[in-house]
Amino acid sequence: MSTIPGMGMVRGMGLTLRRFFAPKATIQWPEVHADVAPKFRGRLQLLYDEYGTLKCETCFQCAQACPIECIDMGGIDTKGRFHVHWGPPETYGERREESALRRSGRPVADHGYTRFEGIDLGPLDAILDAHDYDPGDMLAILEEAQAEYGYLPVAALRHISRVTGAWYAMIYGTATYYRHLRFEPPAVTDTPPAGTAQRGIEDGYRSALDAALGLGGRPS
């Protein structure tokens, strides 16, 4: 503990100067790997594309992979449809946003409750019970939940996550991958027959192939 004022500054600058004159080393990555501390995780950075829009697709894969669970995400999904969230709402990302709101003097909604619409969980519990709350049956659970509600409400995904113990990010990742699973009520209320979600892309391929071969008009 120094008693002379400014001594800390001198010491710090001393270190800077020592480093400044120390020989420089170029590490031939990837052949040679730098020696990093075992807990080093790098710096998180969100990248923007050439149009200035965020490249992040909110896929949650980083949040899922993060070993110390320091990543939290919240916002509107990339298609602007509904609120997606990873991590407890009180972590800093949303809290910072919220504190800015509060400082502005406007009334602040409690997003913890208004984020998504509530649903009747009864039928969902029956589905989960039939599958023994087994995350290995996730696809079947999601398909049946969609058949029940017409789409996959966020509340349903959160409930499935809570009772099966599967991460919300995993469930969300599964549900966004398969074309027949959707997150908004369909325009037509009837349940579409199986395979409809892919039919567009497959019919498109067949007719384009026929057109390219000069076989237009004939079914393949």
- With a CB cutoff of 8 Å and minimum separation 6, the contacts of 56 are 46, 47
Helix axes 138-149, 122-130, angle to 10 degrees: 150
* Residue of 119, 121, 138, 155 that binds other proteins (CB under 8 A): 138
Which amino acid, one-letter code, is at 138? M
Q: Are 207 and 220 in contact (CB under 8 A)?
A: no
* Residue 200: CB minimum distance to other proteins, A: 11
Q: Does 212 bind other proteins (CB under 8 A)?
A: yes
Return the residues of window 172-191 that contact other proteins according to CB under 8 A.
173-174, 177-181
Instruction: Choose the stretch contacting other proteins; rule: CB under 8 A; options: 45-53, 67-75, 98-106, 207-215.
Output: 207-215
* Residue 55: CB minimum distance to other proteins, A: 13
Scored b (16 or more CB within 10 A) or e, 83-100 reads: ebbbbeeebebbeeebee
Q: Does 147 bind other proteins (CB under 8 A)?
A: no
* Residue of 95, 135, 150, 161 that binds other proteins (CB under 8 A): 135
Token pair listed for 91: 């972590």
Instruction: Choose the stretch contacting other proteins; rule: CB under 8 A; options: 25-33, 70-78, 95-103, 205-213.
Output: 205-213
What separation in angstroms does the CA of 208 have from each of 74, 198, 211, 214, 219? 40, 15, 5, 10, 12
Token pair listed for 197: 């979600």
Q: Does 150 bind other proteins (CB under 8 A)?
A: no
* Residue 210: CB minimum distance to other proteins, A: 9
Q: Does 92 bind other proteins (CB under 8 A)?
A: no
Closer to other proteins by Cβ: residue 99 or 198: 198
Closer to other proteins by Cβ: residue 94 or 157: 157
Site of tokens 């017409």:
150
Class of residue 142 by CB neighbours under 10 A (exposed 0-12, middle 13-18, buried 19+):
buried
Which residues bind to other proteins, rule: CB under 8 A? 135-142, 170, 173-174, 177-181, 193-195, 197-199, 201-203, 205-206, 208-209, 212-215, 220
